[in-house]
């Protein structure tokens, strides 16, 4: 069974930025996206701070966020990377399966990647993620390189939205119609 310890805070800044963006999208009636809580069973709690210091995951989580954008169901996961090579081991088989099932139900699934060393955000549609995933499963590289990514899918931050993923959703929808 998987455990959670201090490593669980990795990516929390990115999630904070996404949470802020989701709240702004909700306020502007553009989207309703919620963070999916990961069910855990606490094992050790610091008595002074009352913080959980060790816990077991009750079950595998699916994705970090789920919701609806102007009537279109969306789900996505947020990942950080501090190099130009993103290890596919950071994407779990149950997540790929869930996102594939979501897409087959006419939803839009994607990843938000934050290349911390470049301070760049990337919107990765499920079909692109799945292509890299399958390459790794079939004996190819177990990572993808920054240079392989679609230049059109890098997100441009602005003063209103820290992680403007609706730009990626709009691009994704347009590319499906083409």
- Residues making up the annotated binding site for Mg(2+) are 62, 64, 77, 95
Q: Tokens standing for 50?
A: 């009352």
- Measured CA distances, 157 to 38, 59, 161 (Å): 28, 34, 6
Question: Residues at the annotated binding site?
Answer: 62, 64, 77, 95
Question: d(Cα 22, Cα 34) in Å, to the nearest integer?
Answer: 7
* Closest C-alpha among 4, 95, 96 to residue 42: 4
Which H helix or E strand runs over 43?
A: strand 40-45
Question: d(Cα 105, Cα 143) in Å, to the nearest integer?
Answer: 28
Work out the end-to-end distance of the chain between its first and last CA atoms, rounded to an integer number of angstroms: 44
């Amino acid at each position: 069974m998987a455990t959670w310890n201090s490593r669980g805070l990795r990516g929390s800044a990115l999630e904070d930025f996404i949470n802020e963006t989701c709240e702004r999208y909700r306020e502007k009636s553009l989207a309703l996206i919620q963070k999916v809580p990961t069910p855990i069973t606490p094992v050790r709690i610091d008595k002074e701070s009352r913080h959980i210091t060790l816990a077991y995951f009750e079950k595998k989580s699916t994705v970090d966020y789920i919701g609806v954008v102007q009537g279109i169901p969306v789900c996505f996961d947020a990942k950080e990377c501090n190099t130009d090579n993103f290890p596919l081991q950071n994407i779990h088989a149950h997540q790929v399966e869930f996102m594939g099932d979501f897409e087959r139900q006419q939803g839009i699934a994607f990843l938000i990647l934050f290349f911390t060393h470049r301070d760049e955000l990337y919107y990765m549609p499920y079909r692109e993620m799945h292509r890299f995933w399958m390459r790794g499963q079939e004996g190819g590289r177990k990572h993808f390189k920054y240079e392989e990514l679609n230049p059109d899918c890098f997100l441009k931050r602005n003063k209103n939205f820290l992680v403007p993923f609706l730009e990626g959703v709009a691009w994704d929808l347009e590319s499906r119609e083409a």
